[in-house]
Every structure is written in structure tokens, then in C-alpha cells.
Chains A and B, each alone.
Chain A
């Protein structure tokens, strides 16, 4: 290799400033942030991609972009406070500056969109798995006519853990007389809950779908995938019709630091969105 020919990226680790323009509390541990780039132009992301959120003096954390691509120079992030960066982010208010690098990773690109066209989309989200899925859900719902049907299955522990309750309500309303449906389930419902009770796989039999004409998109905690995949396999869903987004420990986001590897696959480069058929034999998948 002639090193002189190699493109070195001087800004690889340099984050850019962005302003918090909106903050919303979901729960004690989950918040919504709308971010505005200081520069002109958009982030230029695909649904399913992520940014590295930087807080100076604290560190960086990969966070999914929760809004669809064409939102001007604004985009949404949602965070669960679990550690150094996310807890510090929780103290941030409107007009505070954060720093970001990205968008990174491989999301729902044109090729996947082409595959989804005219198909039945089956979203299966657990808990804060709704965050990364929201970028795609909010992209396809306004264009629902391009799809045979859109079914969203959403499972949470309690009703407090439902993210974007107002948006969920809108989707429920919308579903009357349209090809969009939202089915929810709770593990531990309160007395006034009228919906389904039980783990998310109990919703799958309630959906009428032709596995060959359906594309399933799954995001949730690691344990959820195994059960959901088993249910879908029982329904003879072709593996290449299943997409999922995976979480791994990530430091650099650009294929260097090595933390995100799943066997030889760098999840920050090839993922986080994967087609199940491409990774089913990966022994480090779950």
C-alpha cells in the first residue's frame, strides 16, 4: 500500500457543536432532545444511523438518530440515563451546546427502502427500542400508501415506559380506516390498561401477515431478539425479510477502536442495522 495515496481524515475525531432546542421528559430516566446544527445543512442521515454525542470533559456515547432524514438542520435524540455521558446530558437544558460526530453506521439505506416498497412492514419494538425505530416509523407513516400495510408492535414494562405517548395516540387514531395499525402490550399493566398484557411475542399471532410479503424490523433489548426471531421462524418468515438493529459497546464509531466487533464484523460500520440472513451464523450475535 502506498501510504501517500491514503486519505487521512483530519476531522475523524473532531466533534462539531450543536444546540439543544427542545427538551422533553418521558420518565425519570428517559428524555427527548431536539438538536440543531450550528452550521447550515442537514445531518444527512439514513434512518437507523447514529451519532456520537460528545460532552466535553465527560466523554462520548453512541445515540440513535430518532427523527427521519428530511428535518432540515434539526434532528432528535432520545437518551436513557445510565452512565457518565447520558447522566450529564440529562442536566442539559434548552440552548445548551452539545458536540456530535456522525452520522455513523449503516442504517436503512436506499437498497432496503426498495425492498420495503409495496410490502407489509412489521415493526417490533421493545422499550427504548422505539428510539431508533422512530426515525423509520415517522418516515414511512406519511407515505403509508407505498406499503401494503404497516403494523407496529410495541411492548413495554409498564405504561410509564411507553415512549412518545402522544405520538402513539396519534398512530392509534390514524389506524382507523387506514393501512396502519399499532398494537401494544405491557408486562406489568396498571388497573386502567385496556390493551394486551404479556411479552411482545404474544402480539405476533394477532397480526394477519403473509411472511413472504412482509418485512420485519426488530429493535429491543438483547433478550427480546431470540424470542421474536423464534416466533417469526415458526411463521416461516424468510430470514432475508428480517432486519434488526444491534447494540454493542462503541467508542470510536468509525471502525478503529475494536469494541463493537461481533466475530469479525464491526457493528459500527456494517451495522447497527443488519439483515438477519447476513448474520444468523455469527456466533456472537446474541
Chain B
């Protein structure tokens, strides 16, 4: 269903929905832009600026309790979830959410992630330009969102928006909270034409669809050692990535030893001991091996599984890396697009 509305109507809708849902969106705090809960629609930052952390934190928080237990053996599987409207999510991050949805649902449905996700309405906001030098969404086609949203907003002139309602959940929001009129398909077509024009000179990776095979064949390409040698194994790139979801699990008693919890925490395959086992054996002992693993998850192992690049080109890892290591540089070496002599 296609509707058309105004920014004023959207702001009003958000203020109304705040009575029953938490709302999270881009916000501005001092000079930083970050995803956060808002108290009123006026807290929302409408611009297009990259954030340090992606919105995955709302469904997969950096730390969360899985179990609460007592010393006498009462164990409760714990899930904290509240109805949430996630507002103004850009295409790259929508793609990230879609990948996490698939990962957490795969084989054994992760109850904590899925319950939070079930209670969320996701409202996307399309972009018609890249946000900065480090982003390369267009290289992997992630400047377009195909799914992963309940509603998509396409900005038109004069603070007007086309509203694509994609799911029943989106419809709940549109019907109850949004004053809108019918949108014209023609307007969306014109919007998409203008967007295609804006991105015309920004080409995708050469041979993107062949990346799994290319990366598999190029395990010993010199770019790995070249980039891996500079890596500090700090794990920052993993923390900020919208499609990284590995975790560690810890147990702690409270001081009185009568109750405790089992928690999970974001973990990073770039850290030295991620694969160390009790015998002291480390299956990925070098930074090069770890970088190879992380990048192959994006362009090979998981790309095969999800049928699309698992790097969404948001550029967060590039901005976070003190050693200036970028998936884009590596991909362009592997597909030969950089025409550089790496040996």
C-alpha cells in the first residue's frame, strides 16, 4: 500500500505512538548522532549521518541476562522486551536487521532476539546519497532496502513523504497513528529514477555475485597478510558492525551468593583468544587469520547462506579502525578491481 504524508503528520504520529510503544530513532547528543530512545518526536534527528553503533543493540543488546537463578536451583529464562517503534532506519541498517533476523531464526530460534524483534515496528527512511567517504553501501547494493521494514518512507520535496506500507504491523501504525492520503505510484517511480541517477556513477563491486567463490580461491592472496599485519586485534570493527552477532556467556553470583545470573555479551572474533580451547590450542592464532575469517563471513561463508553480501557497506568498521583496515580495500584486491600489485 502506498500513502503520502507530511513531516508534521509523522511527528504527530510518533508522539501518539509514544503512549503505547517505546520509540527509538537517530538523535543528536552534543555533536554526536546516535540511535536512542526518544521522549518526544522533537528528539528525532532527521538528517543522514552515520552512527557509531548500528540499531542491532535494540534487539541484541551489548549485555543481556539469559537466566536468573537462585542457589536453591530456581532457574528462570529471562527475556526483557517492550513494544518498540524503530524510526528512520536507513537502507544499509535495514539490510543489517534482515541479516540478523535470519541468523537468529536459523535452526534454533533465539528466544531473546526473536521476542524483541516480534514486538517491533520498523519504519525505514530511504537515502538518496551516501552519508560520507567511508560508506560504500552502493558497492554491495545496500543503498536499496528490499525487505526488513514494516513501513518505508521516501522523502519528497517540501517535507512530504511517500509511505510504503509493507506488512500488517506497518499497517497497524499507518491506520492508527498516521494521517495520510493515497500515494501515487508515479511519484515513487519518479523518486526512484532520481535516486538511480544520483547513484549512477557509483558502481557495485566487480563480480559481486561471485564473491563466495573468489574469496574461497583467494585464501592466500597477499592482501590478507598486508592488512592483517597492521591489525591491532582490538575488536572495534566487530562491535560496530550491524551484521556481527557472536557472543560470550558468563555466570555471576550476587554478593550474597543466594542469586545469580547468566548473561551474554557481544564478543569479537578479532580478539586473540576467541578460539582458544582448554588445551591451549588456538585455531586462529594470528591477526591475519582472524581478519580473513571476519571478512570471509561477510563475503563468503555467510554470503552463501543469506544469498547476499553480509557486509552492508555502512563503513562503521572503517571509521572505527585505528589501522585504516577496510572490507572495501580487501574486496577490491580480491576481485582485482583495484588493479594493484599486492605481491
- The answer to whether A and B belong to the same complex is yes
Q: Which residues of A contact B (CB under 8 A)?
A: 1, 3-4, 6-15, 17, 55-60, 80, 82-83, 86, 97, 99, 221-222, 247-249, 251-252, 254-259, 261-264, 269, 283-284
Report if B49 contacts A (CB, 8 A): no
Report if B296 contacts A (CB, 8 A): yes
- B107 A6 Cβ-Cβ under 8 A: no
- A8 B109 Cβ-Cβ under 8 A: yes
- A3 B118 Cβ-Cβ under 8 A: yes
Sample (14) of A-B pairs whose CB atoms are under 8 Å apart? A1-B102, A1-B105, A6-B105, A12-B109, A12-B111, A13-B66, A15-B75, A57-B71, A59-B262, A97-B73, A248-B283, A249-B277, A251-B249, A283-B219
Given contacts A56-B251, A57-B253, contact A12 B108 (CB under 8 A): yes
- Choose one: B101, B267, B300; the contact of A257 (CB below 8 Å): B267
Q: How many residues on B have C-beta within 8 angstroms of the other chain's C-beta atoms?
A: 59
Inter-chain pairs besides A1-B101, A284-B289, 15 sampled, C-beta below 8 Å:
A3-B118, A8-B118, A11-B77, A14-B67, A56-B251, A57-B251, A59-B251, A59-B262, A83-B278, A248-B277, A249-B274, A254-B108, A256-B245, A257-B267, A258-B267
The 7 A-B pairs at the shortest CB distance, nearest first, are namely: A264-B301, A258-B246, A8-B109, A82-B278, A8-B114, A6-B105, A14-B77
Q: Which residues of B contact A (CB under 8 A)?
A: 66-67, 69, 71, 73, 75, 77, 98, 101-112, 114-115, 117-118, 147, 219, 245-253, 257, 260, 262, 264, 267, 269, 274-279, 281, 283-284, 289, 293, 296-297, 300-302, 304-305
Q: Is the interface of B mostly helix, strand, loop or mixed?
A: mixed
Q: Among A3, A15, A55, A284, which residue has the most Cβ atoms of chain B within 10 A?
A: A3
Contacts of A7 in B (CB 8 A): 109
User: Once A and B bind, how many residue pairs between them come within 8 Å at the CB atom?
Assistant: 139
Contacts of A13 in B (CB 8 A): 66-67, 77, 111-112, 262
Tell me, in angstroms, the Cα distance from A59 to B293 when the chains sit together: 27
- A263 B301 Cβ-Cβ under 8 A: yes
Q: Among B98, B104, B278, which residue has the most Cβ atoms of chain A within 10 A?
A: B278
Closest A residue to B260 using CB positions:
A57
Tell me, in angstroms, the Cα distance from A11 to B78 when the chains sit together: 10
